Amino acid sequence: MPSEFSLHGSWFLISLYIMAIIKTVDVSIAEAKNRLPKLIRAVENGEEVLITRHGKPFAQISAPPPNRRQVRLGGMKNRIEFLPGWDAPIDLDRFLEGDL
């Protein structure tokens, strides 16, 4: 392997170590794309990753909240009422004229 590659890889490992101390790290889109598995491992270890575009933050990778709300099927049943005729066909000409 070329020495540039291993040097760059070492730099990234050093930045991950620093990230463990700081708990948040900024990475460019290109770096995030190339190092996503390592960044995900860092998030699993409690760090947050801020992804930047041209130096400006636009996305963040972090762990999900500890208490996610459980999905309840049918939770809105009998809470929404439709008016009679809500699904009746409409006259397109009247609709386009704003008469409905």
Q: What confidence tens digit (pLDDT) does each residue in 52-87 have?
A: 999 899 899 988 888 877 888 888 888 888 889 889
How many angstroms separate the CA atoms of 61 and 63, rounded?
A: 7
pLDDT tens-digit profile of 27-55?
999 999 999 999 999 898 888 999 999 98
pLDDT value at residue 64? 85
Closest CA to 20 of 59, 53, 49: 49
Question: Does residue 6 register a pLDDT over 90?
Answer: no
| Crossing angle (nearest 10°) for helices 3-22 and 36-44 | 20
Question: Does residue 4 register a pLDDT over 50?
Answer: no
pTM listed for this prediction:
0.47
Tell me the three state secondary structure of residue 53: strand
CA 19 vs. chain centroid, Å, equals 20
CATH of domain 3-61: 3.40.1620
